[in-house]
Structure 1
């Protein structure tokens, strides 16, 4: 069974205690690991999930405790919807096979990804004021804005080391 690892921040870990696994011996699959954190819009819990390899973002909105039993399908549907919105055409069944089962793990202290997520959350805070309530926020569009922000992947400082998350996710899924 394929698994996709999602390392949670301490805040998110408190909300999903029952889902946290301590068995970290599994391979994290084709997509690599993800990092998840929680933020609030209108006192509703939203999750920002960021892929460690590509810095590709997926936002899950208004997640309640009752949603945790279906969190795998909620994530897969949101991820697929975001890929389609971002112009990455893929088959849902293929994506479902690549992701497999979600495995939530305690924080891995990945400071680079956590810093990246905090920066993206500041962008989202800015847009919260622009749109007001969660119902008025075009989540796929805002996530697309996050995913088209320039990112640095690589060791050097050449212009070719800069890309965006959509291009990187497209390359990863094409492999």
Structure 2
């Protein structure tokens, strides 16, 4: 669902940002969780948009399993609720992470000839295990991994 009304309740996972990038003329979507900077990548065609809820949840579930974070699909479905698209909120921090991740994917893309040959789950796992800085100070304790942060969110 696409809306401009921000009064919809967020699920436990809160807000995700989505951006599109291309691999061999195919559109891929990079979803990044606003707080944990956890990433999910999936290829979505225009005809798939009517099933975006299911596609996103399935891709997220598969990525969590690949990253070793065990969660029942029904629980994940309850955590997320309904997928709602809003116009951009200009979250510069998340947009910056997404732009950096797309650059990393561009670099790794040259290892593979086509999208079919790219191990998307493995490449996304690489993104989710790159150290990130969350917090205001510059202490080493403020550095973490997206995979660690999403696991903490699930355990809460």
**Which structure 2 residues correspond to residues 99-110 of structure 1 after superposition, within 5 A?**
99-110=80-91
**TM-score with structure 1 setting the length:** 0.87
String of CA shifts for 1:72-94, please: whole Å, max 9, x gaps.
Answer: 00000100000000000010000
Higher percent of residues as strand = 1
Determine whether 1:32 maps to 2:19: no
**TM-score with structure 2 setting the length:** 0.98
Q: Distance in 1 between matches of 2:37 and 2:96?
A: 11
Q: CA deviation at 1:26?
A: 1.7
**Which structure 2 residues correspond to residues 86-125 of structure 1 after superposition, within 5 A?**
86-125=67-106
Determine whether 1:156 maps to 2:140: no
* RMSD (Å), alpha carbons: 0.8
Task: Give 3-state SS (helix, strand or coil) of 1:106's partner.
Answer: coil
Determine whether 1:136 maps to 2:117: yes
Q: Distance in 2 between matches of 1:115 and 1:37?
A: 11
Number of equivalences: 156
Runs of 4+ deviating beyond 2 Å: none
- Give the aligned partner of residue 49 of structure 1: 31
**Which structure 2 residues correspond to residues 41-80 of structure 1 after superposition, within 5 A?**
41-61=23-43, 63-80=44-61
> Structure 1: which 5+ runs fail to align?
1-18
